[in-house]
Amino acid sequence: MVASLADPPIVLLAGPTASGKSAIALDWAERTGGIVLNADSMQLYADVPTLTARPSPEDEGRARHVLYGHLAPDATWSAGEWVRAARPFLEAALKGGPPVCVTGGTGLYFNSLVHGLAEIPEIGEAARTKARGDFDRLGEDRFREALKAVDPRAVARIAPNDRQRLCRAWEVWLETGRALSDWQDDTAPVLAEGSYQLDILTPDRAWLYERCERRLDMMVAGGALDEVRALMARGLKPDWPIMRVLGLGEFVDYLSGRVTLADALALAKQKTRNYAKRQMTWFRNQFG
Does residue 99 share a domain with residue 195?
Answer: yes
Q: What is the pLDDT of residues 225-272, one digit of tens each?
A: 999 999 999 999 999 999 999 999 999 999 999 999 999 999 999 999
| Positions in the chain whose pLDDT score sits under 50 | 1-6
Does residue 77 share a domain with residue 21?
Answer: yes
DSSP states along the chain:
----TTS-SEEEEE--TTSSHHHHHHHHHHHHT-EEEE--GGGGBSS-TTTTTPPPHHHHHHSEEES-S-B-TT----HHHHHHHHHHHHHHHHTTS--EEEEES-HHHHHHHHT----PPPPPHHHHHHHHHHHHHHHHHHHHHHHHHH-HHHHHHSPTT-HHHHHHHHHHHHHHSS-HHHHHHS---SS-TTSEEEEE----HHHHHHHHHHHHHHHHHTTHHHHHHHHHHTT--TTSGGGGSTTHHHHHHHHTTSS-HHHHHHHHHHHHHHHHHHHHHHHHHHH-
- pLDDT at position 2: 41
Does residue 209 share a domain with residue 271?
Answer: yes
Q: Is residue 113 part of a domain?
A: yes
Q: Is residue 100 part of a domain?
A: yes
Does residue 241 share a domain with residue 213?
Answer: yes
- pLDDT at position 4: 42
- pLDDT at position 7: 66
Q: Is residue 3 part of a domain?
A: no
Q: How many domains does the chain have?
A: 3
Does residue 72 share a domain with residue 180?
Answer: no
Domain that holds residue 41: 10-117+188-200
The CATH number assigned to the domain holding 88 equals: 3.40.50.300
Does residue 38 share a domain with residue 137?
Answer: no
